[in-house]
Amino acid sequence: MDVGGFFVAILAALFNGSFGIFSKIKRVQDAEVPPPIFNFWTCIGIIISSLPFLFLHQVFTPLGLLSGVFFVISMACTIFAIQFLGLSSAAGLWCGTAVVVSFTFGVKALGDTIQQPSLAAPGLVLLIGGIAGIALNGEVVARRRQNEETLREEQEGDGEVEMGGGEDPLLSSENAKKKRTRTSLLGLATAVVAGIFGGLVLAPMDFAAEEAKGLAYIPSMGIGVLIAAPLLTLAFMALGQAPFQLYTKAAALPGILAGIIWNAGNVCSILATRNPNIGLSIAYPIMQAGLLFAGLWGILLYRELQNREQIGYWLSSIVLIAGVTMLASSK
């Protein structure tokens, strides 16, 4: 195991799990900034933090544009997946999908060599299991909060219900069931697509010219984000998913900082994938372990998990860490 390359991959996971905390700060929450708008400012942060690399590496590859577009598509799908399934379930699905896609593509398409398949296979299973456990634990918490909110709303509305009003309860229940099924299927589809494109964000780099690989690849990718992000934001606005305003005062600075942190993780991912002892098949699955750090920030900063709920998080984290260690040791 290459300790240095493994450490850089872990740093990528740390940054990947940390950029989302900026969307939860008070000024953003108080302004009720829509996710597509915050995502726009995150993309601006990625573009800004890509500029210094342009002065260091003045090369361009169209494949970088493809990576930028892949990133924006993945982010768009995550927004819809969260809307349909909730953050925890959606994150578990797209992270798990990204692990499988990046590992498979790295081994099958790029020829990454796995020295010890007997460690890689169970390591991959444990990594996905840990991600699923953390996501499931978050879903339990989300449902508890939703039930508490629903109960509170019902208690407040007890005195407002009129006898004989409204539609047939059986018809209402059937319509609600169909709506939940449709929503779940849409959530599943968008989460899987987010994972597919997310797992392939850096894949085009391996087909670029040698001088355009590594850190020299970042400006081209930033240009791809620059082209795709405004188009995506306008599409969300046109579809009624976001208002025609950018919430500049509330969202600009936090969103840009989130983009800079994400790009720091992207830099670490590139360095790790360029390491012959790590590669895409190992580096990108480890990056998805950022869900562990996201949960940790939720505990430390926002007290999202109560005492009993933390048990599931820590047990899943142990499984995830075991999977990451086995996967890294397989190279």
Burial of residue 310, with CB atoms counted within 10 A of its CB: 0-12 exposed, 13-18 middle, 19 or more buried: middle
Domain contains 159: no
Domain contains 28: yes
How far apart, in whole angstroms, are the C-alpha atoms of residue 20 and residue 28?
Answer: 12
Domain contains 156: no
pLDDT tens digits along 90-104: 777 788 788 888 888
With 50 as the cut, is the pLDDT of residue 163 above it? no
Hey, what are 188's tokens?
Answer: 């599943």
pLDDT on residue 255: 93
Domain contains 291: yes
With 70 as the cut, is the pLDDT of residue 171 above it? no
Q: Which domain holds residue 247?
A: 3-143+184-329
Averaged confidence pLDDT in the chain: 82
Instruction: Identify the band that residue 48 occupies on the pLDDT scale cut at 50, 70 and 90.
Output: very high
Domain contains 177: no
For the segment 138-148, the average pLDDT, to the nearest whole number, is 66
How far apart, in whole angstroms, are the C-alpha atoms of residue 181 and residue 250?
Answer: 35
Instruction: Identify the band that residue 120 occupies on the pLDDT scale cut at 50, 70 and 90.
Output: confident
Weakest-pLDDT range from 103-117, 192-206, 220-234: 103-117
Instruction: Identify the band that residue 326 occupies on the pLDDT scale cut at 50, 70 and 90.
Output: confident
* Count of domains forming the chain: 1
DSSP state of 258: H
With 70 as the cut, is the pLDDT of residue 15 above it? yes
Weakest-pLDDT range from 6-15, 137-146, 192-201, 223-232: 137-146
Domain contains 87: yes
pLDDT on residue 86: 67
pLDDT on residue 297: 81
Question: Torsion-angle region of residue 240: left (phi > 0), alpha (psi -120 to 50) or beta?
Answer: left
Looking only at Cα atoms, what is the longest distance across the chain?
A: 74
Instruction: Identify the band that residue 180 occupies on the pLDDT scale cut at 50, 70 and 90.
Output: low
Domain contains 153: no
pLDDT tens digits along 237-274: 998 888 889 999 999 999 999 999 999 999 998 998 88
pLDDT tens digits along 266-309: 999 899 888 877 877 777 788 777 777 877 787 777 776 666 76
What share of the chain in percent tops pLDDT 90?
29
Q: CA torsion sign, 147 to 148 to 149 to 154?
A: positive
Domain contains 222: yes
How far apart, in whole angstroms, are the C-alpha atoms of residue 284 and residue 110?
Answer: 13
Q: Enumerate residues 6+ apart whose C-beta is below 8 A from 129.
A: 316, 319, 320, 323
Hey, what are 90's tokens?
Answer: 């959606």
For the segment 313-318, the average pLDDT, to the nearest whole number, is 81
pLDDT on residue 87: 63
How far apart, in whole angstroms, are the C-alpha atoms of residue 267 and residue 134?
Answer: 26
